[in-house]
Amino acid sequence: MYDAIIIGAGASGLVCAINLARGGKSVAIIEAQKRGGKKILASGNGHCNIANANVSTKNFYGKNSKLIEEIVKVKPAQIVEFFNTLGLEIVTKDDGKMYPKSMQASIVLELLEAEIDRLNISKFYEVKELNIKRGFEVSFNNSTIKANNLIIATGSQAAPQLGGNSSGLEIAKNFNHTIIPQIPALVPLISSHPICKSLAGVKVKAKVRLFSNDKELSSQIGDFLFAKYGVSGLSILDLSLKANLALEKNRCHIIVDFFSDYSKQTLLEYLKSRIDKKRDLKLQLWLGAIINSKLSEYLLKELKLDEKSEAKLNSKLLKEIVEHFKNYRIEISGSREFKYAEVAYGGVDSREIDSKTMQSKKEKNLYFIGEVIDTVGDRGGYNFHFAWSSAVLCSSYCLGVPKSCVQ
């Protein structure tokens, strides 16, 4: 009989297991994959954006605002302290993003695994045909184990190639929990606009504004990438959740400003200052000298100005160029599937989970942590913050382990 069985060896499951074992609890981890923590390895382009120094309630989206408030009470300094005890040093960038000093995601997982082994935590990997009975009797691979507490840390359907699945949702359903349908988040968006396919692979810095039924929902400045299927880049990933939620009921489009460093007036004046009638360059060369040449060529063709030269420019034509490059409309029809999403929105309804303990309100001694819950964070380390913090809340409040237990 274990004190706790944790289903899922991802970010939240591993940290929860370590905290519990450090507090003297007997723990077993059950994982479907050959190795847990694959999302840790893939995070931050292989660097692992482990947390963010600027965390606030505004960085999270879910049905239970009280739970989000409790998550934010777990400070980044506590997360740093925990990882320091594993031997990991963390650096904080100017934008608040926190990384391992080595900038290697692999070392984060290896140190977690080393601590799991040091604490002699029972591990059952490559588990198939999992069956859970009330009283927390768990059967798999011709074996059965029991525990006083059951912790579900199975993650979401995002990135199935890294182990993402809906198994935790099925377990929750069996304990009469409500499930909020999951949708991809931090994911590229789909558009049939011909510019996307024509300029596939072109990446620029841009300001992107998201609209639903002509009402502006949000905006982001950052990388903007054209792709055969639509649009991507960091600016799009940051807008994707709001886009997908809006698309459930309404039409969506984005307005892209390819000269985000300039107002319309300052851009107009800048372009005027660049005109040299003696030089008389073709406009695609003249404009391609200050913005991606493939982009400028495409937009000038749309304006039917590609054959003109700078000497032919006048105030009217300059205003047309400014308007076109700073207010480019692209309709959005959906997003790419879970395979291309970093996280998922939706899951076990967080209103049915105690915000201070992560315990189910429907089944005593049943807990949910991490991405299986209907709460998702912004890009930039916030989803890991949620994973670590929910694990801390569960191990600290629910099972009597002090929050500072890091010996």
Is 352:29 a contact under the CB 8 Å cutoff?
A: no
**Do residues 44 and 172 share a domain?**
yes
| Per-residue pLDDT at 407 | 38
- Segment 71-80 long-range contacts (CB within 8 Å, at least 24 positions apart): 71/375, 71/385, 71/386, 71/389, 71/390, 71/393, 72/389, 74/385, 74/388, 74/389, 74/392, 74/393, 76/51, 76/52, 76/385, 78/392, 78/403, 79/50, 79/51, 79/385, 79/388, 79/389, 80/51
Residue 405 inside a domain? The answer is no
**Do residues 26 and 153 share a domain?**
yes
**Do residues 30 and 178 share a domain?**
yes
Per the DSSP assignment, residues forming a β-bridge with 330 are 254
Name the residue range of residue 381's domain: 2-185+338-398
Closest CA to 239 of 199, 180, 194, 191: 191
- On average, the pLDDT of the chain sits at 94
**Do residues 181 and 322 share a domain?**
no
| Per-residue pLDDT at 401 | 53
pLDDT value at 406 more than 50 = no
| Per-residue pLDDT at 306 | 87
| Per-residue pLDDT at 399 | 62
Q: What is the CATH number of the domain that holds 174?
A: 3.50.50.60
pLDDT value at 377 more than 80 = yes
Q: Give residue 288's identity as a one-letter amino acid code.
A: G
| Per-residue pLDDT at 77 | 94
**Do residues 68 and 134 share a domain?**
yes
**Do residues 20 and 152 share a domain?**
yes
Is 64:35 a contact under the CB 8 Å cutoff?
A: no
**Do residues 121 and 164 share a domain?**
yes
**Do residues 78 and 174 share a domain?**
yes
| Euclidean distance between CA atoms 332 and 363, whole angstroms | 41
| Per-residue pLDDT at 397 | 74
**Do residues 123 and 166 share a domain?**
yes
pLDDT in tens, 207-241: 999 999 989 999 999 999 999 999 999 999 999 99
Taking residues 100-109, what's their average pLDDT?
Answer: 96
Residue 403 inside a domain? The answer is no
**Do residues 161 and 31 share a domain?**
yes
pLDDT in tens, 31-74: 999 999 999 998 888 899 999 999 999 999 999 999 999 999 99
Residue 27 inside a domain? The answer is yes
Residue 387 inside a domain? The answer is yes
Report how many domains make up the chain: 2
* Prediction pTM value: 0.91
**Do residues 100 and 208 share a domain?**
no
Taking residues 370-387, what's their average pLDDT?
Answer: 96
**Do residues 206 and 276 share a domain?**
yes
pLDDT category, 405, cuts 50, 70, 90? very low
